[in-house]
Structure 1
Amino acid sequence: MPSSAELHERRSAVVARGVSSMIPSYVSSASGGTMTDVDGREWVDFAAGIAVTNVGNAAPRVVEAVRAQVERFTHTCFMIAPYEQYVAVCEELAALTPGDFEKRSALFNSGAEAVENAVKIARHATGRPAIVVFDHAYHGRTNLTLALTAKVMPYKQGFGPFAGEIYRVSMSYPLRDGRSGPQAAAYAIGQIEKMVGGANVAAVLIEPVQGEGGFVVPAEGFLPAIAAWTKAAGAVFIADEIQTGFCRTGSWFASEHEGLEPDLITTAKGIAGGLPLAAVTGRAEIMDSVHPGGLGGTYGGNPIACAAALASIETMRELDLAAAARRIEAVARPRLEALAAKHPSIAEVRGRGAMLAVEVVIPGEDDAAGPVPDPVTTAAVAKTAHELGLLLLTCGTYGNVIRLLPPLIISDEELDRGLTLLEQAFSTTA
């Protein structure tokens, strides 16, 4: 097997420079909460493929289901010749997503596709143009979803012009805005009414816990107030649960933490154990407002990905991975808070379930936006962690947040080892 150095040399000759990687090592295998590179080095996995392998890599049920499906057929295109697996995934989504009302789903390949189609559906259903999004949001890398995404580098720089009729308002960010949930919601709603006008809003699109924007958990009461205003305005409330969905935050969906029942919900990442699948699920009358043929795609709801999703959902139920996410938080949060007590550079520990983060700042320095972010130390801690054998990711509008996204099936020993390596990385760097 070629070494990582050899593979990197080959990569440099053929892979576009814009496609970057966090570590220079190349993976040969992964299972549980670890992965092994081609040089035989093992890493504790606190990334899970960016919250994708919630059930773990090469999960037995997923492997079995994929193998069986490949032997039957690999593709027909559901729009040409339908199959049961697509229908079964939609049945599961109708049962699992929040809200006791009739639902419909449409399946796609990626989170960006799901978000883009949710916007299409909302505009079609309401006959209105405007889409409201929030500071620090991340919704994808297509032209429309880049317009919805807040951060310029590395996502938006040089790729415009972007789609229009997108309006950005203030997000509840407790560390930085000092507002209660209702106060932050009132401020954001005031911006919408002044800049857009409620009668023009097709949809309000929000991540219940922001992902790439820094694992920002809005203050309690913010999300219900925004959802209530959206309903009163006759607009569609869309919850982007692409990173938060499928047990990641300690519930099947993060919307459940404050009793939200989104009109539409977008899912991807954790749905299919590592295979590409995404969905828009929502109220039947909204989803069915689109004419036949108005939604679809060649690979959307591919039978192999659907088989993997059904096996993943079965695994989540059987192992109660929502409870596993809460157990991870119960172990990790006290360790992170103890780490914050030792290192003044950690301004906050936040998150839900197995979606946890620490925000790194320059101690004692504040500006109009609150504690001054320290992306340099953040990057150094992450680099040191990688060198020690811990795979983790950074995020945040200011590049100063370290996030933890372990597979939900990670063992106690692996979790402990990963947290110890993170502590070591801070001790030697921050």
Structure 2
Amino acid sequence: MTTTMSLPQVRELRTEIPGPLSRELQQRRTAAVAAGVSSVLPVFVTEAAGGVLRDVDGNSLIDLGSGIAVTNVGNAAPEVVEPVRRQAGEFTHTCFMVTPYENYLQVCEELAQLTPGDHDKRSALFNSGAEAVENAVKIARRATGRQAVVVFDHAYHGRTNLTMALTAKSKPYKHGFGPFAPEVYRVPMSYPARDQRSGAESAREAVDRIEKQLGADTVAAVMIEPLQGEGGFIEPAPGFLPAISKWCTDNGVLFVADEIQTGFCRTGAWFACDHENVVPDLITTAKGIAGGLPLAAVTGRAELMDALPPGSLGGTYGGNPLACAAALGSIRAMREQDLAAAARGIQDAVMPRLRSVAEYTDRILDVRGRGAMIGVEFVKAGGDEPDPELTSRIAKTCHEKGVVVLTCGTYGNVIRLLPPLVIGHDLLDEGLRVLEEAIVEHTR
């Protein structure tokens, strides 16, 4: 994609990674920041644009992480920066619950138009994905009069108390932080690379588990990431999502799509549910919505959202005017630049290359994903046992060579690629070359 960037879109290493100035700042960080707040790569960024991060030592790194699927429109995109500047000059906060403002309404109107389904919708805005998820549970329980919430193996929904209960992975997210919120139940996820089953078969197992252990009439909501993020970029087999959605509809259960990581063109459609024409009752969004400013939302059927009394939803900063201005600019950029198509182009460029590498090693179990959300799962030789150590070594080599990649997965054995949707072809090509070389180096 051709677009004007404020930084040259090239990889340039002037020092080792991390450089001396980053190491100095890391010492200050150790003395001031809680150890529980970790970082993938200890380089301190001073500028970023498009698909490049520049650090304090003058190194320019290729960004294949987008701040965990946040800067879909590129970092410091003019379409985001200029509206935020204008809004900051007018007012920065009133609290929508005290005196409202128009751009909050505009964001909700955009969400009603963009999210799956043509039914009447309402939205409420929050600060983070975890907040959106918690409020989706509140809405589902109040609207249905039921308590149980069903989630899936490998799910990630946040780090607050309730969302930790919804999240599957223990370390580092849950271990030692209990007790957790009750009435949360987990069922198997479709995992084609490991279970070798069709979507219909996997859905039958999940439904059977729900009906035997809970009974449909106790379930308020089934919550699912249409393509799992932190759990390993697991894409369920075709037919799984529609089957779960239909069971929900047939049994008065709300189907809640957690599209916090998959939303806003990331998977090659505005939302991942669109790929199989699944229409959720409630959908949670965050990350890519506002170009890097904190904003999240729950959007859902009007009769569900309006079932809650005034004052039961909200928060001091939810739908802050600066974040709303950023969201409107970001959505405009996605629409005008057709970033859903750009994500599909990234998939077309990345998938064949990584699958070609996988043909020459038995250490790659699967290359999977959609759009600009692609994962590579690594295993030990001769089987399917996860290999997080190999995964970590490959990622570390990429980092040392100036390419930011992320890892994920219940077993820590998946490298995930989340490049900005505006990344240039040459920059993406170079980042992939570094990753390919790292894989070959460590899997010979």
User: Within the alignment, does 1:420 sit opposite 2:438 as a pair?
Assistant: no
The 2-side partners of 1:174 and 1:17 are apart by: 37
- Amino acid in the other structure paired with 2:69: A
Corresponding position of 1:397: 410
CA displacement, residues 86-117 of structure 1 (integer Å, 9 cap, x when unaligned): 00000000000000100000000000000000
For the 8 Å contact 1:384–1:429, the answer to whether it is kept is no
Deviation beyond 4 Å, 4+ runs, structure 1: none
Corresponding position of 1:377: 390
Among 3, 24, 31, the residue aligned to 2:49? 31
The 1-side partners of 2:285 and 2:135 are apart by: 12
Q: Which secondary structure does the structure 1 equivalent of 2:74 belong to? A: coil
The 2-side partners of 1:294 and 1:20 are apart by: 34
CA displacement, residues 142-191 of structure 1 (integer Å, 9 cap, x when unaligned): 00000000000110011100000000000000111121100000000000
C-alpha RMSD over aligned residues = 0.9
User: Within the alignment, does 1:304 sit opposite 2:314 as a pair?
Assistant: no
User: Residue 2 of structure 1: CA displacement?
Assistant: 8.7
User: Residue 296 of structure 1: CA displacement?
Assistant: 0.3
Q: Which secondary structure does the structure 2 equivalent of 1:154 belong to? A: coil
Among 360, 365, 368, the residue aligned to 1:347? 365
Q: Which secondary structure does the structure 2 equivalent of 1:286 belong to? A: helix
Alignment of 1:274-293 (within 5 A): 274-293=292-311
Q: Which secondary structure does the structure 2 equivalent of 1:362 belong to? A: coil
User: Residue 424 of structure 1: CA displacement?
Assistant: 1.4
The 1-side partners of 2:325 and 2:43 are apart by: 31
Q: Which secondary structure does the structure 2 equivalent of 1:175 belong to? A: helix
The 2-side partners of 1:185 and 1:21 are apart by: 36
Corresponding position of 2:152: 134
The 1-side partners of 2:424 and 2:270 are apart by: 20
Among 400, 409, 417, the residue aligned to 1:387? 400
TM-score for both structures, normalised by structure 2: 0.95
Alignment of 1:11-22 (within 5 A): 11-22=29-40
Among 197, 202, 209, the residue aligned to 1:179? 197
User: Residue 42 of structure 1: CA displacement?
Assistant: 1.2
Alignment of 1:159-198 (within 5 A): 159-198=177-216
User: Residue 343 of structure 1: CA displacement?
Assistant: 2.2
CA displacement, residues 337-382 of structure 1 (integer Å, 9 cap, x when unaligned): 11111222111110000000110001212xxxxx111111001000
Gaps of 5+ in 2: 1-18
The 2-side partners of 1:165 and 1:364 are apart by: 40
The 1-side partners of 2:56 and 2:249 are apart by: 52
- Amino acid in the other structure paired with 2:116: P
User: Residue 297 of structure 1: CA displacement?
Assistant: 0.2
TM-score for both structures, normalised by structure 1: 0.98
- Amino acid in the other structure paired with 2:343: A
The 2-side partners of 1:341 and 1:388 are apart by: 24
CA displacement, residues 259-314 of structure 1 (integer Å, 9 cap, x when unaligned): 00000000000000000000000100000000011100000000000000000000
The 2-side partners of 1:299 and 1:399 are apart by: 34
Among 47, 67, 74, the residue aligned to 1:56? 74
The 2-side partners of 1:22 and 1:311 are apart by: 29
Q: Which secondary structure does the structure 1 equivalent of 2:243 belong to? A: helix
Corresponding position of 1:410: 423
User: Within the alignment, does 1:10 sit opposite 2:28 as a pair?
Assistant: yes
Q: Which secondary structure does the structure 1 equivalent of 2:116 belong to? A: coil
Corresponding position of 1:368: none
The 2-side partners of 1:174 and 1:332 are apart by: 20
The 2-side partners of 1:63 and 1:87 are apart by: 20
The 2-side partners of 1:372 and 1:6 are apart by: 39
Q: Which secondary structure does the structure 1 equivalent of 2:172 belong to? A: helix
Q: Which secondary structure does the structure 1 equivalent of 2:203 belong to? A: helix
For the 8 Å contact 1:266–1:279, the answer to whether it is kept is yes
Mean Cα deviation higher: 25-34 or 81-90: 25-34
Among 120, 129, 132, the residue aligned to 1:111? 129
User: Residue 6 of structure 1: CA displacement?
Assistant: 1.3
Among 79, 92, 95, the residue aligned to 2:113? 95
The 2-side partners of 1:224 and 1:351 are apart by: 18
